[in-house]
Each structure stands twice: as C-alpha cells, then as structure tokens.
Amino acid sequence: MPRLERRPTPSRLWTAATPVLAVIATMFAGGLLFAALGKDPVEAIRTIFWDPLFGEFASYSRPQLLVKAGPLILIAIGLSLGFKAQVWNIGAEGQYIMGALAGAATGLAFYPGDSPLLFPAMVVIGALGGGLWGLIPAVLKLRFGSSEILVSLMLVYVAQHILSAAAFGMLKNPEGRGFPGSRNFQQFPAAFNGELIAGTGMHWGVVAALGSVIAAHVLLSRHILGFHIRVAGEAPRAARFAGVSPALLTSVCLGISGALAGLAGLFEVTGPAGQISTDFASGYGFTAIIVAFLGRLHPLGILLAGLLMALTYIGGELAQLTLNLPSAAIQAFQGMLLFFLLAFDVLSNFRIRLARRARA
Amino acid sequence: MIGSIDPLLLIASLMVASTPILLAAIGELVVEKAGVLNLGVEGMMIVGAIAGFAAAVESGSPLVGFVGAALAGAALSLIFAVLTQVLLSNQVATGLALTLFGIGFSALIGQGYAGRRPPPTPKLDFGPLSDIPVLGPVLLRHDPVVYVSILIVAAVWVFLKYTRAGLVLRAVGESHDAAHALGYKVVRLRVLAIAFGGACAGLGGAYLSLVRVPQWTEGMTAGAGWIALAIVVFASWRPWRVLAGAYLFGGVTVLQLNLQAAGVAIPVQYLSMAPYVITIIVLVIISADRRRAAQNAPASLGRVFHASS
C-alpha cells in the first residue's frame, strides 16, 4: 500500500513539472472524450494545440492569441494574489462586467467627444468600477464575517443582470433602431482601444497584462506587502503575530483583483468586443481561475498559462469550424485540466513511499 | 395588479421552486457536517439536470431519470472525493474545478436535448384529501419528489441526531484527528458523505430539468447550487432550518416571477437579481452574529486530513 509522506516544503521540481504533466494528461483524457464524441482524437488535439499557431489559418488566429490571453492574464494575476493569501475571490466575472460598464458608461457620456484624456479616464473609472465591486465582499467579510466566496459569486449574477439592464436600457444605442446593445466603440475613435501594432492583436489590455505580470513579480519578490500576502497564506498564525492585518490584506487582495478584472473588462468592451451587449460576459472571469492555478499562482507561470488557455480557446473555435466539435467540449476540456493539475499536485506536497516502514 | 397574484397558488409553486435548492442544500449539509467543503454543488446539479433529463427522455420514465441523475451526481462527486480525500488537494480549488467542469461537461452531453420535452412526472393523488380547501391545493397536489425531499430532510435530521453513525459523522467533522485516533475511518466516511451530497445535488438538478422548467437549456441551474451552499450557512448546519431557508428562497423566486408576470413597473432585470441580492443580505445577517455562527460550523470544515500514522 503506497503511503504519502508530507514534504517539509513543497518540491520546487514537482511544482514546476505538474502543470506540464497535467497538460499532457488532459490531452490524453481529452482525446478519449473527443473519441467518444466520434471525432478523430489525434486530429482534434492537433487542431486545438497546433493549428492555431502553425496551421493553414495561422495568420488569422495568431493575433487572437494575445487578444484572448490579455484579459485572462490580467484577471488571473489579480486572483493569484488573493489565492496566495487564502482570500477566495471567485467573482472576477462580475468585476469584469462592472469595470466594463463603468468605463463604457463614462466614455458614452462624452460621446462624440475627442479629448485625448477620455480613454485614460475610462481606464481609471473601469478599474475603479471593478475594484469597488470587488470590495463589496471584502467589506461584508470584515464587517459581518460573511464568506467572500459566496458573496463574490452571488455578485456575478447581480452584475450579469445589471449588464442586461444596461444593454436594454441605460446604455442602449439611441440610434440602434431599438436593438439592445450600446453604441459601437469602433465608431468612437477617442474611446476605442484598437490594435497598437497592426496584425499582432496587441492592444492596451495586452500591455496592461504584461505590466501586471511584472508588477506582481516585483510586489511578491521585493515588496513587504507581497511578503505579507505570502506569509498570510502559508502561516496565518505567524502572520498575525508579525502584525499583518488580515483586514487590510483581504481588502487589498479583493480590491486589486477587482480592479484588474475591471480593467480587463474595460479593454475588452472598448476593443475586441466593441460594445456593451447582453452576451458581452464570456466567462473570462471563471477561466482565469484555472489560469491562476495552472500558473502556480506565480506571475511568470500565469503568463504562460494564460497563453496556453488562450490557445485552447482559439483551437476550440477552430475545431468547432473544421471538426464540428461542440463549443462546450473545450469548456469541459479546461475543467479537466484543473482536475489533473490538482491531482498531480500531490507530488509536490508529498513523497510517495511504496514500501512499508520497518517498524510497525 | 399585485392583487392578481393568488396567495394559494404562490405557496404551492413556492414548494416546487424550492425543491431543487432544498435537495442540493440538504446533501451539502451532510458533506459539511463530515468536515468537507464541496463548492462543486453547482457543477453536480447541472450534470444531474442533464443526466436525469437524458435518462428520462431516452427511457420515457421520469423515475429512471431521477435515479440516473442521482447516480451521475454521485459519480461526479467521487472525482472530488478522490482528489480531496486520497490525493489531499485543496477543497476550495477542487470544488471550483468540479463546478467549471460540470458546466462544460453538461453542455456537451446536452447537445441534442435542447428543445425536447421530458416525460411528465405524475402528481401524487391523495384522493379526496387533495380537495380539502386551502390545504389540498397548497400541500397535497404535488409530484412525489417534493415529498421525497422533505422525507430526506427528516431522515438526515434523525440520522445526525439519533443514530450512532450520525454521531461518528459529526465527530469526524468536528475533529478528524480525534475521530481517527478513536479508530473511525475518516476518509471512508467522508467519501460516503460526499457521494450522498453528490446524489442529492444530482436529484435537485434533475428536478429542475424534469419538473420545474421542464426543459434542458445550457447553464440552467443559474447559481442554484451556490444558493444551496449559502442556505447551509444560513441554516447554521441544521436540517430543518435548511428546509425553512430553501422555502424562503423559493418564496422570493416565485414572488419575483409573479411580479414580473403581473407587469410591475420595475425592469425585469432588477426583479431577476432579487434572489441573489437577498442571498447576500441573509448571509450577512446570519454571519453578523459571529458567536453563534462559530458555534455551529463544523470545526474541521475544509481542512485537509492526513493521517501521519
């Protein structure tokens, strides 16, 4: 009977190796899943992981990689700070929506203005919108002790209904002939978040994502706040003795992750999505949870994980077109990835001993 | 306008609206009493919804549907059980994974089932009893699952309060190390509790797709599993309070639907968010009384158990 023996500290080798193992295992299990759906597993996996980068339509799909990875990375960086400190913000989807709504509403209020300050103002207000939405669970937790997990999640549904109300009411395009949805930002240059370098998919949101990776890395490795976040997660009692304020930490983690999710929403609505509409929320806030874990809550890991997850999105769309693979398959595939990651994690925290110990 | 809402019908439909959440919540209560926090309720519910729907449509029997849903929910929960109990993974992360996977997986199986109608679940006939004024239409004209859900609550209450096994389960939830030292099989018991929770969540999901709606649409649980988790907290981990909580939330849901139908001058979206907002408010009120909340929560809730010897 194999036995698990806790390692004094998690193995660095296995911590780095488990995501790779998890991806490989998911490819196999996903292949089985696709085979069960009557698709050729090898071709499906190749379509998802290879073709978007090197296939026939690669010139179209490569820029999409950054477009999709940008918001995922931005949100996941914020979430990872909280997860490290055992603050569970799972309502990033709601903060993403509220950031987009706040920023877009600001821009639309000044339509058709052309001030160069408009877009920066929208960015700031988008971050504030998401940040304040993220602070609601923090305040309720600190003041009343309610679980931030449940509150932040409930607020996703509230935000989705506000989004729908905005698309049908407050922000509806007055020239839209009664169709729901706001004005399109493409026709509003001062507020449009276009490609910075043509053909790369690089927009301000991607720049912000890269910036957040660097900032998070500096924060965690060089700044006292980052140290507090790590201590609070790994040794809560020690953290309290060291004077780390749990209240401050909870607010900071939820506020930052909310603000980053809000930013992601703002960049998305003013760029790739183009307008506030009922189907604007596409689940980035939830997929980012997988990205954060797959990236081992480490900024550089999250960068890679975000790119990989973006690849599965694009590959999934491609497989939908060429292989008629259902769009939901890719969601199940991403969920499976997280399962395998958590399963393999046992290797980084424990040693597996096969032999019985001599003494009974 | 508001006068057009019939209070008797309201209470009767409240029982139907509450049953999915009630089933999921009572299952999760047992899981949490065993010291395990399974945040995958939403995922197990939605997989139960499609599995039950598919089984009922293919077999033509709602009973087969409900059994299939319970099995599917339990099967999915066993993934969680293996990961958290054997491979000692973080329960919060694993529960989230279960929900994310469940939503995708259900949409995948559910593909040819959108727009189809399930076989109707017959209502129980209590004969002349169903014709008693007031009481009859409110309480005695439902389908069997409504009564089964109440029976499950009663059974859980008896099990936890009056049986030895229930005592052991609570001991495991309060202090897994002490229970282990006394020779109880912590992991085995928790796996069983998790499977029970999964089966209940699956049943709840199937009730949505087979009776309440009755149809299959992607993401149809729309947070019901999360509300069930909140109800367990609201109920301070007591079975009868879970029933009260679930009926309260069912009441809010039905009331806002009735207000929508009655054409109240509030945009539909604001009425639809009411159940979620009220969940938050109730959570806050319950948690504010910290001393009581701390007393009732199982002490080992969410902690990883690793027997060192």
Question: pLDDT tens across A194-238, in order?
Answer: 777 777 778 888 899 999 999 999 998 888 888 888 888 888 888
Find where tokens 């699956």 sit: B202
- Distance in angstroms (rounded) separating the CA atoms of residues B154 and B149: 9
In a 3-state reduction of DSSP, which class is residue A351? Answer: strand
Q: Which residues pair with A190 in a beta bridge?
A: none
- Is residue A16 assigned to a domain? no
Helix %, strand %, coil % of chain A (to 5):
70, 0, 25
pLDDT digits (tens, 9 = 90+) for A73-116: 999 999 999 998 888 898 999 999 999 999 999 988 887 877 88
Ranges of H-type helices in chain B: 7-33, 41-59, 62-81, 91-109, 135-139, 144-162, 164-174, 176-181, 186-207, 224-234, 239-262, 268-272, 274-288, 290-296
- Distance in angstroms (rounded) separating the CA atoms of residues A154 and B226: 8
Give the ipTM: 0.85
Q: Return the closest-CA partner of residue A95 out of A142, A129, A51, A57.
A: A129
- Tell me whether B199 touches chain A (CB under 8 Å): no
Query: Looking at residue A192, what is its pLDDT?
Result: 80
**Which residues in chain B show pLDDT less than 70?**
1-5, 127, 129-130, 134, 136-138, 140, 290-295, 308-309
A327 pLDDT above the threshold of 80: no
Q: Which residues pair with A351 in a beta bridge?
A: A5
pLDDT digits (tens, 9 = 90+) for A264-275: 999 999 888 888
A310 pLDDT above the threshold of 80: yes
Question: With 0-12 CB in 10 A as exposed, 13-18 as middle and 19+ as buried, what is B41?
Answer: buried
pLDDT digits (tens, 9 = 90+) for A108-157: 888 787 788 888 899 999 999 999 999 999 999 888 888 888 899 899 99
Distance from CA of B291 to the nearest CA of A (A): 11
Size of interface A-B (CB pairs under 8 A): 147
8 A C-beta contact, residue A3 and residue A352: yes
Contacts A162 to B, Cβ<8 Å: 269, 273
Dihedrals phi, psi of A351, to nearest 5 degrees: -95, 145
pTM of the model: 0.89
8 A C-beta contact, residue B94 and residue A342: yes
Work out the angle at residue B196's Cα, subtended by the Cα atoms of residues A4 and B189, and round it to the nearest 5 degrees.
Answer: 40
Q: Which residues pair with A352 in a beta bridge?
A: A4
Contacts B98 to A, Cβ<8 Å: 335
Are B103 and A331 inside 8 Å of each other by CB?
yes
Are B89 and A334 inside 8 Å of each other by CB?
no
Query: Looking at residue A360, what is its pLDDT?
Result: 44
- Distance in angstroms (rounded) separating the CA atoms of residues B217 and B215: 7
Q: Return the closest-CA partner of residue A126 out of A200, A180, A82, A71.
A: A71
Query: Looking at residue A63, what is its pLDDT?
Result: 84
- Tell me whether A168 touches chain B (CB under 8 Å): yes
Query: Looking at residue B41, what is its pLDDT?
Result: 93
Percent of chain A with pLDDT over 90: 28
Dihedrals phi, psi of A6, to nearest 5 degrees: -65, 135
Are B107 and A169 inside 8 Å of each other by CB?
no
Counted domains in chain A: 1
Amino acid present at A309: M
- Tell me whether B223 touches chain A (CB under 8 Å): yes
Q: Which of B107, B272, B287 sits opposite A328 (nearest CB)?
A: B107
- Distance in angstroms (rounded) separating the CA atoms of residues A261 and A273: 15
Written out in words, the top-level CATH class of the domain with range B2-122+135-296 is: mainly alpha
Query: Looking at residue A246, what is its pLDDT?
Result: 83
Are A147 and B283 inside 8 Å of each other by CB?
yes
Contacts B92 to A, Cβ<8 Å: 88, 149
- Distance in angstroms (rounded) separating the CA atoms of residues A166 and A177: 16
A302 pLDDT above the threshold of 70: yes
- Is residue A205 assigned to a domain? yes
Find where tokens 């009557």 sit: A38
Alpha-carbon separation of residue A199 from A59, A203, B266 (angstroms): 9, 11, 46
For B:81-140, CB contacts with A below 8 A are: 82-83, 87-90, 92-94, 96-98, 100-108, 110-111
Query: Looking at residue B47, what is its pLDDT?
Result: 94
Q: What is the CATH number of the domain that holds A232?
A: 1.10.3470
Q: Over the Cα atoms of chain B, what is R_g?
A: 19
- Is residue A14 assigned to a domain? no
Selected residue with higher pLDDT from A343 and B306: A343
Q: Which of B91, B109, B283 to mutate to test the interface with A (most CBs of A within 10 A)?
A: B283
- Distance in angstroms (rounded) separating the CA atoms of residues B81 and B74: 10
Query: Looking at residue A205, what is its pLDDT?
Result: 87
If phi > 0 it is left, if psi is from -120 to 50 it is alpha, else beta; for residue A324 that is left
The reply to whether omega before A2 is within 30° of 0 (cis) is no
Q: Which of B83, B106, B284 sits opposite A342 (nearest CB)?
A: B83
For the ranges A24-33, A327-336, B260-269, which has the lowest average pLDDT? B260-269
- Closest residue of A to B269, CA-based? A161
- Distance in angstroms (rounded) separating the CA atoms of residues B109 and B113: 8
- Tell me whether A88 touches chain B (CB under 8 Å): yes
Work out the angle at residue B46's Cα, subtended by the Cα atoms of residues B44 and B52, and round it to the nearest 5 degrees.
Answer: 95
Q: Which of B280, B285, B288 sits opposite A151 (nearest CB)?
A: B280
8 A C-beta contact, residue B207 and residue B104: no
8 A C-beta contact, residue B169 and residue B191: no
- Is residue A23 assigned to a domain? no
Contacts A345 to B, Cβ<8 Å: 87, 89
8 A C-beta contact, residue A62 and residue A199: no
Alpha-carbon separation of residue A262 from A126, A254, A330 (angstroms): 5, 12, 25
Tell me the angle at which helices B224-234 and B274-288 cross, rounded to the nearest 10 degrees: 20
- Tell me whether B302 touches chain A (CB under 8 Å): no
Are B267 and A336 inside 8 Å of each other by CB?
no
Are A350 and B39 inside 8 Å of each other by CB?
no
Selected residue with higher pLDDT from B89 and A354: B89
Query: Looking at residue A356, what is its pLDDT?
Result: 59
Dihedrals phi, psi of A5, to nearest 5 degrees: -125, 120
**Looking at beta carbons, which pairs linking A213-219 to residues 24 or more positions away fall under 8 Å?**
A213/A73, A213/A77, A213/A299, A213/A300, A213/A302, A213/A303, A214/A299, A216/A77, A216/A80, A216/A81, A216/A299, A217/A299, A217/A300, A219/A81
The secondary structure of residue B84, as a DSSP letter, is I
- Distance in angstroms (rounded) separating the CA atoms of residues A119 and A25: 44
Give the domain range for residue A121: 58-314
Contacts A90 to B, Cβ<8 Å: 96
Percent of chain A with pLDDT over 70: 98
Which H or E element spans position A353?
strand A350-353
